[in-house]
Copies of this chain bind each other. A is one copy, B any other.
Amino acid sequence: MELKLARDLIEEIPHLMAKVKEEKPLIHHITNFVVMNDTANLTLVYGALPVMAHAIEEVEEMVGIAQALILNPGTLTPSWVESMIKAGKRANELGIPIILDPVGAGATRLRTESNLRLLKELKVTVLRGNPGEIAALMGNSGLVKGVESVGKISNLEDIIYKFATSSGLIVAATGERDIISDGERIVAIDNGHSWLRTITGTGCMSTTAVAVFCAVTDDSLLGTMAGLTTFEIAAEMAAPKAIGPQSFKVALLDVLYNLTPEDVINRSKIYYLR
């Protein structure tokens, strides 16, 4: 099957990039300890502003001045989940988009149940995870090792579509090919580089990228696309400059900082599947 390049989506991305730099949205992260530094730096590289705040006494107030909320229970405890619920409810009242990264769902009951609870009690805008995590939230366990997706999921496209249809949220499973659906359209992104798997937190970073763009547009499918594609194009451009995982990480953020509209237009591999 020949895939159809989603030119209409691709052409919007450079406008959103400019909008981020102009509006400098505040991205409120309630996230894990491992990636806090990296995701804060990624937020700044796009021209947005990061804030990490998890105290239950301040999360409502903090999200009230933010333009997007990231919930990432990668090093969760029950009290952090309570803060996420509280921040999320306030975000819902205010119409601020919530991006959920269900790190390690499927690996332990605490992770699976906490993520399901977040999905139940909050109106999440975008769910961004790896295929194993997404499948676990649909009841298919055994595909997550720690926080990594293992094994092949043959019918990933159907799972994502069904999940999006039944939940009303945008579901994005990232991997060699990203599959994203809003319950109507299904889109694939074929950008990226295998070295993204050699450094920690690249999934979490892609979630931050999604949040940065969803903070400046109401079209959350487009925002999701823009975040994932720009991040993955930067990975492709960084790889030839690197000799190992750490020089790749340095180059990834440097390249992203210098990413041009031309890079995006020429390199985006976004396709409509349905």
Residues of A at under 8 Å CB distance from B? 24, 26, 28, 32-38, 40-41, 43-45, 49-55, 57-58, 61-62, 65-66, 74-78, 104, 107-111, 145-148, 197-201, 242-247, 249-258
Contacts and interface: CB of A to CB of B under 8 A. Distances in A.
**A contact patch SS:** mixed
A40 B44 contact: no
A247 B254 contact: yes
Contacts of A26: 145-146
Given A198-B45, A198-B257, A104 B51 contact: yes
Contact of A246 (B32, B35, B245, B253): B253
A245 B49 contact: no
Given A37-B200, A45-B198, A62-B107, 12 more contacts: A26-B146, A28-B146, A40-B200, A44-B200, A44-B245, A49-B145, A51-B104, A51-B107, A53-B104, A54-B77, A57-B78, A65-B107
